[in-house]
Amino acid sequence: MILRRLTENLRLQNWTTIAIELVIVIIGVFIGNSVNDWSQQRAADRETNELLVELRPEMIRQRQSMESIRNYLQITGRYADVAFAGWRRDPKVSDAQFVIAAYQASQSYGLSANGQTWAEIFGGDQLRRIKDSAIRTPLQRLMTYDYSLLSYDRLNSKYRNDVRLIIPNDIQRQIRAACGDHLILDGKGLGLPPTCPINIPNADGAATGLRAHPELVGELAQHESLISTQFTNVDLVESQIDELDRAIAHLR
């Protein structure tokens, strides 16, 4: 009897309406989900653009870091020239200038952080959303670059160690106190004074000690070749920062 009533009731239903209602629900759910996905995609694209714009301060900071590294190493290079002249016994270079230059030529500076900032700000998933290859390519290179190549460890050469074994500690401290590293760029970088006009009382003894070690001349030449490699690496990173900066200029 129940089966008969059920059959009767089923026969009374308007199956066309039921089919239409089913299709309406399916389409409704599908459209609802699609709109939700589209909205999420739009929000993600907007976030990616915002992140690109927010990269600008980091780009400025990195650019300043690169410039400060270049300036710093150019100054140590000039001290190296004076030191070479001192070893050649150039009469224009006093003993004090020679000792100061030999020490200052061993000063080194590079990136202390591992440079992963790019990757931290801008994850791989964000990068994948960038459709413009003019933005994506330099950003990807900056994200994957080996920043240890710009680390100050790279200049921890034999010269740096050996010259500091020869110059007496009190003179090294005097040079560092008067002409050592100083903070620049609001504490985000280091600078080195281009000249160091201080009086060193017992400079002649230190200069004699340095001249007794002519192998330091070769070691300083090798140290300078490391610096030249640093310049090349700085140029490579700067070129990518500039390329990225030009590419995202229209987003600001």
Partner 1 sequence: MILRKLTANLKTQNWTAVAIDFLIVVLGVFVGVQASNWNQARVERAETRRLLMRIEPEIDQIISFAANTRDYYATTRHFAETAFAAWHGDPKVSDNDFVIAAYQASQIHGLGESQSWAAVFGADQLRNVDDDRLRVPLARLMAFDVQALNSNAVASRYRDDVRMVIPDSLQQAIRKSCGDRPLPGDTTQLALPHRCPIQLDPAATKRVAADLRAHSELARELSLHLAGVDSYLNSLRNYAEEARIVRDRLSALNR
- Binding footprint of partner 1 on the chain (CB under 8 A): 6, 9-10, 13, 18, 21-22, 24-30, 32-34, 37, 80, 84, 124-125, 127-128, 133, 136-137, 140-141, 143-149, 158, 215, 217-222, 224-225, 228, 232-233, 235-236, 239-240, 243
Name the 3-class secondary structure at 151.
strand
> How far apart are the C-alpha atoms of 199 and 248, rounded to whole Å?
51
In the complex, the smallest distance separating the C-beta of residue 235 from partner 1, rounded to whole angstroms, is 8
Name the minimum Å distance from CB 92 to partner 1. 16
Q: Which residues contact 65 (CB under 8 A, 6 or more apart)?
A: 111, 185, 188, 189
Shortest distance in whole angstroms from residue 52 CB to partner 1: 15
Shorter beta-carbon distance to partner 1: residue 4 or 252: 4
Nearer to partner 1, 200 or 216 (CB): 216
Nearer to partner 1, 139 or 190 (CB): 139
Judge whether 210 and 166 are in contact, CB under 8 Å. Answer: yes
> What string of DSSP letters covers 167-228?
S-HHHHHHHHHHHS-EEETTTTEEE--S------TTHHHHHHHHHT-THHHHHHHHHHHHHH
- C-beta of 80 vs 100, nearer to partner 1: 80
